[in-house]
C-alpha cells in the first residue's frame, strides 16, 4: 500500500527534534544530580543482598536494562515485575536487599504492594520519578527527582524523554557504583565472556592449536620449498628459521609476488621480511587484531612460551573473526 506523505512534513527534521529534545533533557538531568544521588550510589554499593529493580510499562522495560547494567558492573541486580510480584513473586525480596523503583508519575498503583512489602522487611527503597510529592517519592528512603520536561511525543503522551532520562540515570548509578567499588577491567572481562567482548579478551593461545605442523623453512630453502610449505598449511605465509629453530623472518604471498622475477634463483633468506611481528600466547585476540590492522599484515606467528624465539603456532587474521 502506498503511503501518502504531506510534502510539507520533514521526516528528518522530526527525528532531529526528538533527539535534540531528549539531549536537552539529559543535560538538565546531569545538572540536577546532588547529594541524594551520592546517597543512592553509596546505598547500592553497601547492599549486602541484591538490588531489586521494579517498574511498569515503559519504565519496566528500562528497569530490565538497568538491572542488567548493574549486574554487568558489579552490583548484583534483578528485575521484578510489579504485577507478578503481587501474585507470589514478592518472595524474591529478602532482608538485606535494596529496591530501586521507577515511575515517571510516582503514582503507579501496581507498585504499592511491592513498596509496602519492602517496608515490612526494612528493605530500603530508592525511587525515581518526576513528581516529588507523589506517594512513591514520599514512601521512598531516597528520592531521585527527574526534571519535569515534556515528552518528545507530539501529543506529550508516549514515554520518550522520561524513559531516556531514566535509562541515563540508571547508567549513572551503575557506573558510579562500579567506580566506587573499584571494579577492575579483569573483573569486567570475567563478567562478559561471550560475544565480541569475550572474543576480544580471549588469549590467542586458546584460539590456535599448538603443536600442529608449521609452515617453516630455512634461509637456504629455494622458492619451490617455500611454496610447498605455504600451501601445506594454507595460511598464506611461511616462517624462516635458523639452524636452532629460531624465527628470523617471514615470507607471505605478497613477498612471493614482489620476488616473482627471482623465483628460480632466490632463497628464502633473500626475499623474507626479517624480524617479523609476533605475539605470545597470552596476547588477547583484540590486541592481536589491532597489531595486524596497524601493521597491515594478515599473518603472525605465536611464539613458544618456553622459548620466546621459537614459533609454536601460526595465526591468520581470519582466525580472529567472531564466528557467524
Assess if residue 4 is contained within a domain. no
Q: How confident is the model at residue 124 (pLDDT cuts 50, 70, 90)?
A: very high
Q: Do 68 and 185 belong to one domain?
A: yes
For the chain, how big is the Rg over CA atoms in Å?
30
pLDDT of 184 reads 65
Calculate mean pLDDT across residues 260-283: 87
Domain enclosing residue 174, as ranges:
12-191
Residue that the C-alpha cell 590492522 belongs to:
293
Query: What is the Cα–Cα distance from 110 to 85, expressed in whole angstroms?
Result: 9
CB 251 within 8 A of CB 267: no
Calculate mean pLDDT across residues 100-109: 95
Q: Do 129 and 170 belong to one domain?
A: yes
Q: Do 165 and 282 belong to one domain?
A: no
pLDDT, averaged across the chain:
88
In the chain, % helix, strand, coil (3-state, to 5) comes to 45, 20, 35
Q: Do 156 and 239 belong to one domain?
A: no
205 versus 133: the higher-pLDDT residue is 133
Query: What is the Cα–Cα distance from 313 to 237, expressed in whole angstroms?
Result: 12
Query: What is the Cα–Cα distance from 30 to 301, expressed in whole angstroms?
Result: 49
Query: What is the Cα–Cα distance from 175 to 167, expressed in whole angstroms?
Result: 12
Q: Do 315 and 178 belong to one domain?
A: no
pLDDT of 196 reads 58
In tens, the pLDDT along 178-207 reads: 899 887 666 666 655 555 566 677 788 777
Determine the 3-state secondary structure of 159 from DSSP: coil
Query: What is the Cα–Cα distance from 267 to 238, expressed in whole angstroms?
Result: 13
Q: Do 140 and 26 belong to one domain?
A: yes
In the predicted model, is pLDDT for residue 114 greater than 80? yes
Q: Do 105 and 237 belong to one domain?
A: no
Split into its structural domains, the chain has a count of 2
Which H or E element spans position 138?
Answer: helix 135-139
Q: Do 187 and 209 belong to one domain?
A: no
Considering 23-27, 188-192, 220-224, 302-306, the range whose residues carry the highest mean pLDDT is 23-27
C-alpha distances (whole Å) from 99 to each of 40, 96, 110, 161, 216 are 11, 10, 15, 23, 62
Query: What is the Cα–Cα distance from 63 to 43, expressed in whole angstroms?
Result: 18
Q: Do 180 and 213 belong to one domain?
A: no
Q: Do 50 and 140 belong to one domain?
A: yes
* HSE, side-chain direction, 13 A CA sphere, residue 247: 27
Please name which of 145, 121, 120 lies closest in space to residue 40, comparing C-alpha atoms: 145
Interior CA angle at 272 toward 266 and 277, to 5°?
A: 175
**Residue at which a domain ends, from 148, 170, 191:** 191
* HSE, side-chain direction, 13 A CA sphere, residue 234: 3
pLDDT of 6 reads 77
Q: How confident is the model at residue 96 (pLDDT cuts 50, 70, 90)?
A: very high
Neighbours of 222 (CB within 10 A): 14
Assess if residue 199 is contained within a domain. no
Indicate which CATH number applies to the domain containing 258: 3.10.580.10
Query: What is the Cα–Cα distance from 296 to 252, expressed in whole angstroms?
Result: 12
Assess if residue 139 is contained within a domain. yes
Give the predicted TM-score (pTM) of the model. 0.69
Neighbours of 189 (CB within 10 A): 15
Q: Do 216 and 183 belong to one domain?
A: no
In tens, the pLDDT along 52-89 reads: 999 999 999 999 999 999 988 889 999 999 999 887 78
C-alpha distances (whole Å) from 304 to each of 211, 270, 307 are 10, 25, 5
Query: What is the Cα–Cα distance from 182 to 192, expressed in whole angstroms?
Result: 17
Residue 318: is it exposed, middle or buried by C-beta count within 10 angstroms (0-12/13-18/19+)? Answer: exposed
pLDDT of 189 reads 62
Q: Do 116 and 262 belong to one domain?
A: no
Indicate which CATH number applies to the domain containing 54: 3.40.50.10490
Amino acid at each position: 500500500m502506498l503511503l501518502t506523505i504531506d510534502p510539507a512534513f520533514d521526516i528528518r527534521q522530526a527525528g532531529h527534534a526528538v533527539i535534540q529534545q531528549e539531549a536537552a533533557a539529559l543535560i538538565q538531568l546531569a545538572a540536577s544530580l546532588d547529594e541524594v544521588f551520592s546517597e543512592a550510589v553509596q546505598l547500592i554499593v553497601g547492599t549486602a543482598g541484591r538490588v531489586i529493580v521494579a517498574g511498569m510499562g515503559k519504565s519496566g522495560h528500562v528497569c530490565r536494562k538497568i538491572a542488567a547494567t548493574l549486574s554487568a558492573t558489579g552490583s548484583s541486580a534483578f528485575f521484578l515485575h510489579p504485577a507478578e510480584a503481587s501474585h507470589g513473586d514478592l518472595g524474591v525480596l529478602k532482608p538485606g536487599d535494596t529496591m530501586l523503583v521507577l515511575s515517571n508519575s510516582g503514582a503507579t498503583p501496581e507498585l504499592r504492594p511491592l513498596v509496602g512489602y519492602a517496608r515490612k522487611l526494612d528493605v530500603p527503597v530508592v525511587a525515581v520519578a518526576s513528581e516529588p510529592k507523589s506517594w512513591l517519592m514520599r514512601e521512598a528512603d531516597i528520592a531521585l527527582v527527574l526534571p519535569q520536561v515534556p515528552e518528545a511525543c507530539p501529543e506529550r503522551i508516549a514515554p520518550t524523554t522520561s524513559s531516556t532520562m531514566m535509562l541515563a540515570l540508571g547508567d549513572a548509578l551503575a557506573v558510579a557504583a562500579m567506580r566506587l567499588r573499584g571494579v577492575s577491567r579483569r573483573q569486567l572481562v570475567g563478567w562478559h565472556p561471550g560475544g565480541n567482548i569475550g572474543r576480544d579478551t580471549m588469549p590467542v593461545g586458546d584460539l590456535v592449536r599448538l603443536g600442529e605442523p608449521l609452515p617453516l623453512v630455512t634461509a637456504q630453502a629455494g622458492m619451490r620449498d617455500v611454496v610447498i610449505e605455504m600451501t601445506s598449511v594454507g595460511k598464506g605465509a611461511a616462517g624462516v628459521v635458523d639452524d636452532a629453530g629460531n624465527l628470523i623472518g617471514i615470507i607471505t604471498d605478497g613477498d612471493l609476488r614482489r620476488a616473482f622475477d627471482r623465483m628460480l634463483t632466490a632463497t628464502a633468506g633473500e626475499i623474507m621480511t626479517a624480524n617479523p611481528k609476533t605475539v605470545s600466547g597470552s596476547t588477547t585476540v583484540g590486541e592481536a587484531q589491532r597489531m595486524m590492522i596497524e601493521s597491515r599484515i594478515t599473518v603472525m606467528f605465536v611464539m613458544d612460551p618456553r622459548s620466546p624465539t621459537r614459533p609454536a603456532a601460526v595465526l591468520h587474521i581470519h582466525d580472529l573473526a567472531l564466528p557467524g
